[in-house]
Structure 1
Amino acid sequence: MKIAILGTGAGARQHAARLSALGHQIIVGTRDPEATLARTEPDMMGTEPFALFLAAHPELTLATFAEAAQAGELVVNGIDGANAVAALTALPADALAGKTLIDYAVPYVYQQPGDARYPWPTPWGEMPRLDPVDTDSLAEQIQRALPDTHLVKTFVTQEQETVVDPAEFGGGDHTMFLAGDHEDAKTVARELLASYGWNDIIDLGPLAAARGLEMYAHFHTAVGLALGGRFGVKIVR
């Protein structure tokens, strides 16, 4: 299958490499391919320049967001939450129409030091706030902006290294969640998760449940900081 991964950050790279290893044809989308390849310094999260990653994975194709979205039969959104709606709505009208869009972006708003009213210090600076939160979600904003696209919110409750390799914890016996308003798209997402190795997938229902998935990001961070590393979550019922 032709799969478009929109974004070149660490998470997007995890999906691109894993899906390529599973035999899919991967097109990675970025705003400006020339600028992306010209970067020589790590990004704000310390991720190496994309050119080095691409050199290690020459089977991948780098294209603009529009070219990738139009080529992909399935599209995965790895664009950062603050810019996702603007970037996706800037695509040609038919680029995502009728397609499944898997969204794992968290609507983080990164603040400058001193901006937060009640700062939450972390080893990498103040914890970003969420916007939207509680009465809306980034996933719902994207779906409203792209009514002809079949959006599924998933992947968002784990670091992407674990999403693509659940066997890292407990032999893979932990839980992934999804939400969306389109059953056909949920089926596509479940099949993709199964190919990654997930066998416990809970459908949370309509896309409004994405509010809980996105808000969970703060709790997940708190647990990760307490444990000193990544972990898996199992729902026992």
Structure 2
Amino acid sequence: MKITILGTGAVGQTIAARLFELGHEVIMGTRDPKETQKRESPNQITGKSFAEWYQDHSGIKLLPFKAASTFTDLVINATNGAATLDILSEIGASNLEGKILLDLANPLDFSKGFPPSLFVCNTDSLGEQVQKKLPKTKVVKGLNTMNAYIMMHPHKITGDHHLFLSGNDQEAKNSIIKLLLEIGWKNKNIIDLGDISTARATEMLLPVWLRLYKTLGHTNFNFHIQGA
């Protein structure tokens, strides 16, 4: 599958490396590929700069957002939530028409420091705003309630733990589930919450997740739903 990842930070790098390892053709989208390749500050997951990381993953293409999104089977939004809608506007709705877009971003507002608040919640969500901006794109919200390493390496946590999907198009969600199974997720641990409006609930888990991170001192955890 040809997969485009929007965003070249720690999350984008972790996802790109794993999908490339699985044999997919991976393209990363960024505003300025030349500038991105020169970045020397280390990211929080690998400890490597993008320049170092990219040397080790030279088979992954790096293109401007619009070009990266034009000829692809799946687009994964791994951008900062505050920048998501602007980046999608830059790409243009017509370039994403008919495609599946897996949205990982969360509406975190760090303007007043840590912990951040949510810039949209309760009666709306970033996932819904993405779908509204891209009415002919099949938006699926998912994998936004855990760190990127667990997204791509679910076996690193002992026992069962869950991820949640939201979206209006069932076939699109089924395609995402197929990819998740390939990554290593168990079908029984994937919970389809329903239409895109249910993204409100998963995005509002982030304040809980952030406080767990502060209390535990690490991010190697996820949510487990225990039934009767």
TM-score of the superposed pair, with normalisation by structure 2:
0.93
Give the alignment's Cα RMSD to 1 decimal: 1.7
1:129, 1:236 → 2: CA distance?
28
Determine helix, strand or coil for the equivalent of 2:146: coil
Determine helix, strand or coil for the equivalent of 1:95: helix
Name the residue aligned to 2:176: 189
Residues 132-161 of structure 1 show CA distances to partners (whole Å, capped at 9, x for unaligned) of: 111111110110011000000001011011
Contact 2:10 2:43 in 1 (8 A): no
Name the residue aligned to 1:120: none
Consecutive unaligned residues in structure 2, runs of 5 or more: none
Asked if residue 127 in structure 1 is aligned to residue 115 in structure 2, the reply is yes
- Which sits farther off after the overlay, 88-97 or 148-157? 88-97
2:126, 2:46 → 1: CA distance?
25
Determine helix, strand or coil for the equivalent of 1:41: coil
Name the residue aligned to 2:214: 225
Consecutive unaligned residues in structure 1, runs of 5 or more: 117-124
CA shift, 1:47, in A, is: 5.8
- Which sits farther off after the overlay, 192-201 or 42-51? 42-51
CA shift, 1:92, in A, is: 3.6
Asked if residue 25 in structure 1 is aligned to residue 14 in structure 2, the reply is no
CA shift, 1:223, in A, is: 1.5
Asked if residue 136 in structure 1 is aligned to residue 124 in structure 2, the reply is yes
Aligned length: 224
Contact 1:9 1:47 in 2 (8 A): no
1:70, 1:139 → 2: CA distance?
21
1:18, 1:71 → 2: CA distance?
21
Residues 197 and 10 of structure 1: CA distance in aligned 2, closer, same or farther (over 3 Å): same
Determine helix, strand or coil for the equivalent of 2:224: coil
Contact 1:89 1:146 in 2 (8 A): no
Name the residue aligned to 1:145: 133
Contact 2:81 2:107 in 1 (8 A): yes
Mapping for residues 82-231 of structure 1, pairs under 5 Å: 82-111=82-111, 116=112, 126-171=114-159, 173-199=160-186, 200-229=189-218, 230-231=220-221
